[in-house]
Structure 1
Amino acid sequence: MDFQGEDLVIAGKWILGVGSLIDAIGQTQQSLSGSDLGKDLIAKGNGIEAFGNSLQAIGRTKLLTPKRELSTIYTILGAWLQATGNTTNAVGIDIELSGSEEEGTLVDTLGSGIQGLGAAFEAVGASLLEESDFRNLTILGGGFIALGSFLGSIGNIYVLNDKNVIGEQILLVGSWFQVLGSFLLIHAVTIEFESKPPLKNENGYYPYSYHSGYSDLLV
């Protein structure tokens, strides 16, 4: 099955949302218990987020026009950076679970920084678009993910300096900021594609369910 670009972007956003929620639940367990409880969920959540980011990057690349708009290029770059960051986070947590806690936390800190940079690129890409609800929600969603990710790096730095209580609190807040940002982006992409006139596929049908009835409006 040849997935269309819009399908991949939408699926990627939903997968990102699920992954960020799993990550936040794991972080909540870890922060409240003061132990490694929840780290496995954090690792799984980051892996799921990385997969979602990758789908978005591939989908946006499929939607890239010959004009190669700068906003789309920023968005694609941002998605790949977030995928890299989330993958690095997952690796860092796995290293922590294997017993090398300091080394794993350092890797996790780097991953959060890369993810935050990627989310910032996505927000900057959206800022280059014309004023719209989609644009504003994407800037806001990307901003929350970037802030949450950078808070993740800061929280880890506190943990590395043996300030575990405040570090875990910062990590907890950052993880839920990312959940909020992810679900704002889901809403944004829904608005984006619903507002676009659909293109027929090779069989002459409109491929997206949310365009059902669109052809009738054109008659």
Structure 2
Amino acid sequence: MSHHTVIGAWIQAVGTVINAIDPPFSEDDGKVIAKVGNILQAIGSSIISDYTSEELVKLANEVQTIGNLFVVTGLYVENINLEIQGNFIQAMGAGIGLIPAIEENDVFGFQGDFLQSIGNGIQGISGIKEEVENVDVSLLDDTGAWIQAAGSVISAINMTIQNQKDQHSDQPLYHFIPI
């Protein structure tokens, strides 16, 4: 793992938090914040994908990038179906990320990807409910967005810790100064 993947993870995490502030299915005009958040998520996932050597991690982040680009396109052309598909594609990408986390017994990696997958799934469901039932889904969409954001932040923290371990494998991760 390189410092590039850590930077990508934090860009992605910032994007998910920004998106949670103004999720795509909220009743806001313009969706500027949601667009910026999803663009940052796509950039972060792309960076992780470019700088990782693990094939499933690479694939997971490529799929998440595609999902974010679907959402952004849907926001720009005002096509809720693209937004819905984008959220489910992101959920699938995070789901793919569960496989290497399980194989490596990476509990925090699993938790982060699991929450991202669940959050994106909830956002996709909220879009369907809005489209089919024509009801206010703001609470459901907000819940999904914040669950995804929590997962993304957990993943970024985990990648930061893993990178520190990789960089200093011969030293303890935390140093305590005796008083």
Aligned mates of 2:60, 2:148 — CA distance in 1 = 15
Aligned mates of 1:156, 1:147 — CA distance in 2 = 14
Q: Select which of 89, 96, 99 maps to 2:71.
A: 89
What TM-score do you get using the length of structure 1 for normalisation? 0.73
> 2:45: which partner in 1?
53
Gaps of 5+ in 1: 65-71, 97-103, 200-210, 214-219
Identity among equivalent positions (%) equals 23
Quote how far apart the aligned CAs of 1:119 are: 0.4
Contact 1:75/1:126 (8 A) holds in 2: no
Calculate the aligned-residue CA RMSD, in Å. Answer: 2.0
> Matches of residues 67-146 of structure 1 in structure 2 within 5 Å?
72-96=54-78, 104-129=79-104, 131=105, 135-146=106-117
Q: In the alignment, is residue 181 of structure 1 matched against residue 172 of structure 2?
A: no
Structure-2 change in CA distance of 1:140 and 1:38 (3 Å)? farther
Aligned mates of 1:23, 1:120 — CA distance in 2 = 20
What TM-score do you get using the length of structure 2 for normalisation? 0.88
Quote how far apart the aligned CAs of 1:162 are: 3.2
Structure-2 change in CA distance of 1:124 and 1:38 (3 Å)? farther
Contact 1:26/1:37 (8 A) holds in 2: no
Q: In the alignment, is residue 152 of structure 1 matched against residue 123 of structure 2?
A: yes
Structure-2 change in CA distance of 1:38 and 1:144 (3 Å)? farther
Aligned mates of 1:164, 1:8 — CA distance in 2 = 42
Contact 1:24/1:179 (8 A) holds in 2: yes
Quote how far apart the aligned CAs of 1:36 are: 2.3
Q: Select which of 124, 130, 139 maps to 1:169.
A: 139
Structure-2 change in CA distance of 1:120 and 1:14 (3 Å)? same
Paired amino acid for 1:10: V
Quote how far apart the aligned CAs of 1:197 are: 4.7
> 1:7: which partner in 2?
3
Number of aligned residues: 171
> 2:18: which partner in 1?
22
Contact 1:26/1:38 (8 A) holds in 2: no
Q: In the alignment, is residue 195 of structure 1 matched against residue 165 of structure 2?
A: yes
For residues 96-131 of structure 1, what are the alpha-carbon distances to aligned partners after superposition, in whole Å with 9 as ceiling and x for unaligned? 1xxxxxxx10000110111000001112111111x3
